[in-house]
A and B are shown apart, each in its own frame.
Chain A
């Protein structure tokens, strides 16, 4: 697209859109063009929603989830005070758990995993807050839902070691629901075999 002063704002919008995950310059141009063509139906409502979220979104002071108040809806709900606390790396993981709709307890978002090489220690990860919460909220079980990476597992071991007085569990690793063994890598099959159970 040829640029001049009259199109500079649009070019700026395309540049910003292209920085979003999953979008590149070509798809950003297509999206911006689409929004401009649907100004009333999509562009203006999107702009308004972006503005509102931009001014109101914040981290829940209790769990690290993202909401528009000091305390998120899950932490505010008495129904979610089941005594179970699910620890996740990121808000995206919390949303994934919520989409499944099975877990009825509360969450704690760490904001990453331990990494000495990247200078990410327990203090940077809301781990002290987790330890405080376990005592303050009468938690009976902490469920670690962390990635099966080296850093994820180091973080899991670390938390389990710090929480000696409460039951600590982790999500199972193995065959995905609807999955076929033939398509699994060796590591997953090994993990699944180790975690086998009686029927």
Chain B
């Protein structure tokens, strides 16, 4: 198999794991064990093989195993389109997260160019009913999977906006300074918007073309209060025109940082936020699978999927369907659940890990199919 998968994952002093080594092939990885054993920590380690703060959005010092506090390290052999990359990410005690790819220091953005990792965690169950932040992050992760340089544009936009917000808060009136920052925000912001639109288009077309049992969502981007221009010039002019209200508010009120992702359950024509909990979860699974299919079309390999506690919320039939679709896609999905029986439908199409806890230290054991 020449897709994207990990053949080896090593955790050292990472959260509850003192040392864990997982040898795997390209098949899905089913991880089971009691609550608090350290299953999600394995998924979180894999999520750090992409740019950003991982699936819990944690800071580098939060990954440190206590009480030792020695720093932490995650290493992986990442198979990507026939190449094997040795990827390391680590932090010394109190230091920032660092990345090495094939023994050379690299940036986090470089991680996005060799691997793609998407995830679904229980914290996202309320994605459709809580604030727009979570939905933007979800959309940005999809955009990043299609366009690895999305991270750079986002960072540039955020930095220039923080500078502009400081000017607004300090009631600075220098129009040239605002103009210089708005130019930077417009350049990066137009790129951010273009990447997000691409992500929505890709997700929509992947849903339409797929034979899937999961419900389809009609996606669109919206912006509060006003229509947001999506060209660099339009964005720059809109920011300049809005200075007076921004000064009154002490922050930037328009721009891609306010964009929201709207979803409608297509079969019922009901907004995702008004759907039942189960339907909302099914929509998220559907979008993750669509993202994976679109990537498979685009770069020739599906991403690595991290599905935390995904089985618990699905009935037996839906679970079997999900597993069938993952296997058909050929994605290495890392999935967690409290018991081996939750993965029974996978049979020998997956590999199994049992995670147990012994006085605060996790232990990982390879198991046979249940």
Residues of chain A touching chain B, judged by Cβ–Cβ distance below 8 Å, are: 114-117, 121-122, 150, 153-158, 161-162, 186-187
Instruction: Add 16 more A-B contacts to A116-B177, A150-B156, A162-B176 (CB < 8 A).
Output: A114-B177, A116-B170, A117-B163, A121-B172, A122-B176, A150-B160, A150-B184, A154-B160, A154-B181, A156-B180, A157-B179, A157-B184, A158-B180, A161-B176, A187-B149, A187-B152
CA distance A191 to B164 in the complex (A): 25
Select one of A154, A156, A161, A162 contacting B163, CB under 8 A: A154
Does residue B244 face the partner (Cβ distance < 8 Å to A)? no
CB pair A114 B180 closer than 8 Å: yes
CA distance A117 to B181 in the complex (A): 12
A33 smallest CB distance to B (angstroms): 30
CA distance A121 to B179 in the complex (A): 14
Which residue of B is nearest A117, CB measured?
Answer: B166
CA distance A53 to B152 in the complex (A): 43
* Chain A proximity mask over B160-176: 1 for CB below 8 Å, otherwise 0: 10111011001010101
- Please give, as numbers and ranges, the residues of chain A lying within 8 Å of B12 by CB-CB distance: none
A44 smallest CB distance to B (angstroms): 42
- B interface majority secondary structure: helix
Which residue of B is nearest A155, CB measured?
Answer: B180
Select one of B160, B162, B170, B179 contacting A161, CB under 8 A: B179
CB pair A150 B159 closer than 8 Å: yes
Does residue B77 face the partner (Cβ distance < 8 Å to A)? no
CA distance A155 to B179 in the complex (A): 11
- Please give, as numbers and ranges, the residues of chain A lying within 8 Å of B164 by CB-CB distance: 116
Does residue B183 face the partner (Cβ distance < 8 Å to A)? yes
Residues of chain B touching chain A, judged by Cβ–Cβ distance below 8 Å, are: 149, 152, 156, 159-160, 162-164, 166-167, 170, 172, 174, 176-177, 179-181, 183-184
Q: Contacts A150-B160, A158-B180, A186-B149: A116 and B167 contacting too (C-beta < 8 A)?
A: yes
Which residue of A is nearest B159, CB measured?
Answer: A150
CB pair A154 B180 closer than 8 Å: yes
- Please give, as numbers and ranges, the residues of chain A lying within 8 Å of B177 by CB-CB distance: 114, 116, 121-122, 158
- Please give, as numbers and ranges, the residues of chain A lying within 8 Å of B149 by CB-CB distance: 186-187
- Please give, as numbers and ranges, the residues of chain B lying within 8 Å of A161 by CB-CB distance: 176, 179-180
Q: Contacts A116-B166, A117-B166, A187-B152: A158 and B176 contacting too (C-beta < 8 A)?
A: yes
CA distance A153 to B181 in the complex (A): 9
CA distance A115 to B164 in the complex (A): 10
Which residue of A is nearest B169, CB measured?
Answer: A116
- Please give, as numbers and ranges, the residues of chain A lying within 8 Å of B183 by CB-CB distance: 154, 157
Q: Could you jot down 29 A-B contacts, CB within 8 Å?
A: A114-B163, A114-B177, A114-B180, A115-B163, A116-B163, A116-B164, A116-B170, A116-B172, A116-B181, A121-B172, A121-B174, A121-B177, A122-B174, A122-B176, A150-B160, A154-B163, A154-B181, A154-B183, A155-B180, A156-B180, A157-B183, A158-B176, A158-B177, A158-B180, A161-B176, A161-B179, A161-B180, A187-B149, A187-B152
Select one of A115, A117, A121, A154 contacting B184, CB under 8 A: A154
CA distance A68 to B257 in the complex (A): 50
CA distance A116 to B172 in the complex (A): 10
B190 smallest CB distance to A (angstroms): 15
- Please give, as numbers and ranges, the residues of chain A lying within 8 Å of B179 by CB-CB distance: 157-158, 161
Which residue of B is nearest A156, CB measured?
Answer: B180
CB pair B152 A157 closer than 8 Å: no
Which residue of B is nearest A115, CB measured?
Answer: B163
CB pair B159 A157 closer than 8 Å: no
- Please give, as numbers and ranges, the residues of chain B lying within 8 Å of A153 by CB-CB distance: 184
CA distance A25 to B67 in the complex (A): 31
CA distance A122 to B172 in the complex (A): 11
Which residue of B is nearest A123, CB measured?
Answer: B174
A91 smallest CB distance to B (angstroms): 23
- Please give, as numbers and ranges, the residues of chain B lying within 8 Å of A121 by CB-CB distance: 172, 174, 177
- Please give, as numbers and ranges, the residues of chain B lying within 8 Å of A187 by CB-CB distance: 149, 152
CA distance A187 to B191 in the complex (A): 14
- Please give, as numbers and ranges, the residues of chain A lying within 8 Å of B181 by CB-CB distance: 116, 154
- Please give, as numbers and ranges, the residues of chain B lying within 8 Å of A162 by CB-CB distance: 176
CA distance A109 to B180 in the complex (A): 19
- Please give, as numbers and ranges, the residues of chain B lying within 8 Å of A155 by CB-CB distance: 180
CA distance A115 to B162 in the complex (A): 10
- Please give, as numbers and ranges, the residues of chain A lying within 8 Å of B166 by CB-CB distance: 116-117
CA distance A187 to B184 in the complex (A): 15
B139 smallest CB distance to A (angstroms): 22
CA distance A103 to B309 in the complex (A): 64
CA distance A161 to B163 in the complex (A): 18
B101 smallest CB distance to A (angstroms): 13
Which residue of B is nearest A160, CB measured?
Answer: B180
Which of A116, A155, A156 is packed against the most chain B CB atoms within 10 Å?
A116
CA distance A121 to B167 in the complex (A): 10
CA distance A162 to B175 in the complex (A): 10
Which residue of A is nearest B170, CB measured?
Answer: A116
A87 smallest CB distance to B (angstroms): 14
CA distance A121 to B163 in the complex (A): 11
- Please give, as numbers and ranges, the residues of chain B lying within 8 Å of A114 by CB-CB distance: 163, 177, 180
B49 smallest CB distance to A (angstroms): 19
CA distance A39 to B184 in the complex (A): 54
A129 smallest CB distance to B (angstroms): 16
